[in-house]
Amino acid sequence: MKLKHLFSTYACLLGLISLRAQEPGLLWKIEDPTSGKRAYLFGTVHLIPSEQYFLPAGFDTVFASAEKIYTEVDMDEMQDLSGLMGIMDRLFMDGDQRLSELLDESEYHLLSTHFDSLGMPLQFFERFKPLFLSALTATEGNPMAFRDGQLKSYELELAEMARHQEKELEGLETLDFQLSLFDSIPYPVQAQMLLESVRAPQSASDEMYRWYREQEIDKLAESVSTSDASLTPYIEMMLDQRNRTWVPLIADAMRTNVCLFAVGAGHLGGKGGVLSRLREAGFRVKRVQ
């Protein structure tokens, strides 16, 4: 699997858990009222059909003014072959656990049929962690679609823009940390998430992309808030705790540089979202029009 294919699959894992209710708008200015220091926050979907990819009004000006570009994980780390090879073993379940042991016969048959339709016989993936397979089997996570140019990654696009404009790339988290989050979800729960990703109609994905494109983020969140009940116990860990951790990192980084932070759009809004937490910390936050 080429590096970009692996990244597209990994990024889709994040997309599966990153969309929640939030304020309208994708691009925000953060300002420290005491020092006058500023930064910017951009909400992404990690993968999107190429024809629906867009950058909101004002983005080019914001990007040009930024001195450092932060994504959830440093994109140089994501594209480093030696580092990625080191995580390959973590794609497999511990011990001799197999997917067929986590599902009943009818569920396994459903998955097998779906994998066959993608040209990927399920027996070759028996020991893969189900959450990783959720990304592989989703339309937006199909590596072939990514390779053929049907999909774009906001993170890869921003990284390329940063390199072209000679801007420094940074990450709010390490790849190892993000993988540890997925590892904390029990395999049976991951297996049910995999089933849900296969059962979900294509129209659900189409709706999510439409709301993102129109920047109607509240409607987007409403359409997905009940899409996977198995995730509910893990929302605090996967979203809220990370949001709390990011705020002081953002505050520290913007003291010395004008930074653009690009994270999954689901992290921005809601009571525990990054926007609310920045306001609680005393920052002024305003949508870039």
What confidence score (pLDDT) does residue 282 get? 97
DSSP annotation of 97 reads -
**pLDDT (0 to 100) of residue 225:** 46
pLDDT, tens only, 34-92:
999 999 999 998 888 899 999 999 999 999 999 999 999 988 776 666 656 667 778 89
Tokens 């999510």 sit on residue:
208
SS3 109: helix
Residue 3 vs residue 254, higher pLDDT: 254
pLDDT of 270: 75
What is the pLDDT, as a whole number, of residue 189? 92
Q: What is the pLDDT of residues 219-268, one digit of tens each?
A: 655 554 445 666 777 777 788 899 999 999 999 999 999 999 999 887 88
CB 173 within 8 A of CB 242: yes
At residue 164, the pLDDT reads: 96
For residues 132-150, average pLDDT: 68
- Token representation of residue 96: 């001799």
| Alpha carbon distances (Å) from 145 to 64, 149, 152, 195, 236 | 30, 6, 9, 21, 32
Instruction: Give the mean model confidence (pLDDT) for residues 89-99.
Output: 90
N residues, the chain = 289
Inter-axis angle of helices 130-137 and 3-15, nearest 10: 100
Report the domain count for the chain. Answer: 1
pLDDT at residue 257 in the model: 97
pLDDT for position 16: 53
Contact 7, 259 (CB under 8 A): no
One DSSP character per residue, 199-232 reads HS-HHHHHHHHHHHHTT-HHHHHHHHTTS-GGGG
Which of the two residues, 216 and 238, has the higher pLDDT score?
238
* Nearest residue to 90 (alpha-carbon basis) of 128, 53, 49, 147: 128
Per DSSP, 238 falls in state: I
- pLDDT for 174-201, tens place per residue? 888 888 888 889 999 999 989 988 887 6
Check residue 3 and give its pLDDT: 47
Q: What are phi and psi of 227, to 5 degrees?
A: -75, -25
> What rounded mean pLDDT belongs to the chain?
83
Instruction: Determine the pLDDT at residue 77.
Output: 72
Q: What is the largest CA-CA distance in the chain?
A: 62
Cβ atoms of 24 and 218 within 8 Å: the answer is: yes
CA-CA distance, 239 to 4, in Å (whole number)? 25
Q: What percent of the chain has pLDDT over 90?
A: 47
Tell me the residue range of the domain where 136 lies: 3-287
Mean pLDDT throughout 215-220?
68
Question: Are the C-beta atoms of residues 281 and 247 closer than 8 Å to each other?
Answer: yes
Q: What's the pTM value of the predicted model, to 2 decimals? A: 0.85
CA end-to-end span of the chain:
40
Model confidence at 159: pLDDT above 80: yes
Range of lowest pLDDT (8-22, 104-118, 125-139, 230-244): 8-22
Least confident range of 107-116, 162-171, 212-221: 212-221
pLDDT at 57: 94
Percent of the chain at pLDDT above 70? 79
| DSSP strands (E only) in the chain | 27-31, 38-44, 47-49, 68-73, 151-153, 168-173, 259-264, 284-287
